[in-house]
Amino acid sequence: MVLKIKDDIYCMSFIEWEVKEYMSLDINKGTTYNSYLILDKENVLIDPPRIKHLDELKLYLKDIADLKIDYIIPNPSGLDHNECLEKLVEITGAKVVTTKIGKYCLDTQFDTKDWEFIIINNGDEITIGNKTLRFITDDKFRYLLTYCVENKILFSNELFGQHTVYKEKVDLEVGHKIMLEAKEFFANILLPNKDNILKMLKILKDLNLEYICPSHGIIWHKMIDEILLKYRNWSSGVYKNTAVIAYATIYYSTEKIARALGEGLAEGGVNVTYHRLDASTLNIVVRDILDAKYVIIGSPTINTNVHPKVGMLLTYIEGLKPYNKKIGVAFGSYGWEEYATKKINEFFEKLGFKVISGKILTRRFAPGENDLRKIKEFGKKLAKIKLDKFL
Ligand SMILES: Cc1cc2nc3c(=O)[nH]c(=O)nc-3n(C[C@H](O)[C@H](O)[C@H](O)COP(=O)(O)O)c2cc1C
């Protein structure tokens, strides 16, 4: 599918329905890879897609540019964004524009000895005729953003992307639900780079932006201020009065504790979301954790460890390095020797969360009515805790 953004700027979208799993991301809605073509005296291709889309891409390039491509600006770090680069360089003879780190990434993935590179730094510009392309990057950062000065268009790589397929291509046509998709993408893909993203947002603040064109999903046009604000919040740890209660259970004791704790929190005014880990996908759990004040994780003790699904969640969250301005609460059930809540609390400490623990949250086998009443009371008190007090 091709969308003409401006007279001489095109978005070519490649839909992938068959992607089901990408890391722990459960991409059950399909995804869209966007490549962009800028026509001027010298033509530029940004973000080429996977090699399986090469034939389709060639058709578009032939149709729109008669295969004349002078520069290619790839996202160098992931094969899903540069797999067809070798073939494209061969077909078009284009120069590859990238950073020093980008070149290193490409050198290790392809035979680049005959490629012509243009190595750029943050703030550098190239003129392609009437248009100027300015580059925004960070030495440690994997992404290279390209700003077309005259058209006020930012080609943003993974930033502001979403793993979705919509027949609509521009933000407001989809509506505000697109924010939830963007949040899921940020939480699962970009969160470990939040410090770099914050730096880049400071640069973007001074740009006049008419379009933001990411390498996945819809293009931002009418909702640019809104998505920039969300990105500032997500990368700086702004949180809401929400609690995510994520847990696994076999015989439902841990689930009973989850419900009682959640009821108490809800009565105390906290917006509670439950995720039973055999029914929720990790990407949705971490999406909800992104701006939650409370991260509450429960597990039965299984073989002197946490339930495997809880183990998976802990490992996943640890790598994503969420902002530490959060309250961590562990709960669970055990039979003879408790282990799970100890491990979950250690995990919270490692992340720098404020740990709130309570003996009542760890029950031997099934919690009784009295236990559940006390757990609910615990939840009500938890709802009153002011987070900033602890930081
Ligand atoms: C496969 C298996 C392994 C278990 N291993 C332990 C253990 O190492 N230590 C322990 O105290 N309890 C152990 N238990 C007991 C459970 O922790 C206990 O039944 C708990 O109440 C289950 O919580 P649930 O109802 O939320 O599933 C084990 C149970 C199962 C089924």
Q: Whose CA is nearest to atom 17 of ligand 1?
A: 334
Residue 363 pairs in a beta bridge with 333
What per-residue confidence (pLDDT) applies to 143?
A: 81
User: How does strand 25-26 pair with strand 31-38?
Assistant: unpaired
- Say if residue 237's pLDDT is above 60: yes
117-119 and 95-98 strand pairing: parallel
334 lines ligand 1 (CB under 6 A): yes
CA distances from 190 to 81, 117, 196 (A): 16, 27, 10
Q: Check if 253 has its Cβ closer than 6 Å to any atom of ligand 1.
A: yes
The interface predicted TM-score of the complex, written ipTM, equals 0.99
Task: Note the pLDDT tens digit of each residue in 117-133.
Answer: 999 999 999 999 999 99
**303 CB under 6 A from ligand 1?**
yes
Q: Which domains are present in the chain?
A: 2-235 (3.60.15.10), 240-382 (3.40.50.360)
0.90 cut: is pTM over it? yes
CB-hemisphere CA count at 13 Å for 323? 25
pLDDT tens-digit profile of 3-23?
A: 999 999 999 999 887 665 555
**Predicted pLDDT of residue 390:** 44
What's the rounded Cα separation, in Å, for the pair 7 and 344?
55
Dist. CA 272 → ligand 1 center (Å): 26
For a mutational test of ligand 1's pocket, the pick from 254, 277, 302, 364, i.e. the residue with the most ligand atoms closer than 8 A to its C-beta, is 302
Q: Whose CA is nearest to atom 28 of ligand 1?
A: 302
Q: Is the pLDDT of residue 108 over 70?
A: yes
pLDDT of the residue at 175: 78
How many angstroms separate the alpha carbon of residue 201 from the centre of ligand 1? 47
Answer yes or no: is pLDDT of 256 > 90: yes
Residue 341 Cβ inside 6 Å of ligand 1? The answer reads: no
Residue 391 has a pLDDT of 39
Mean pLDDT for 215-221 is 94
- Residue 201 pLDDT grade (very low, low, confident, very high; cuts 50, 70, 90): very high
Q: Is the CB of 252 under 6 A from ligand 1?
A: yes
Residue 349 is encoded by which pair of tokens? 């400490």
| Distance, first Cα to last Cα, the chain | 50
Measured from the Cα of 366, ligand 1's closest atom is 21
Is 308 a pocket residue for ligand 1 (Cβ < 6 Å)?
no
Pocket of ligand 1 contains residue 301 by CB under 6 Å: yes
Structure-token pair, residue 48: 């080429």
Give residue-wise pLDDT tens across range 309-328.
999 999 999 999 999 989 99
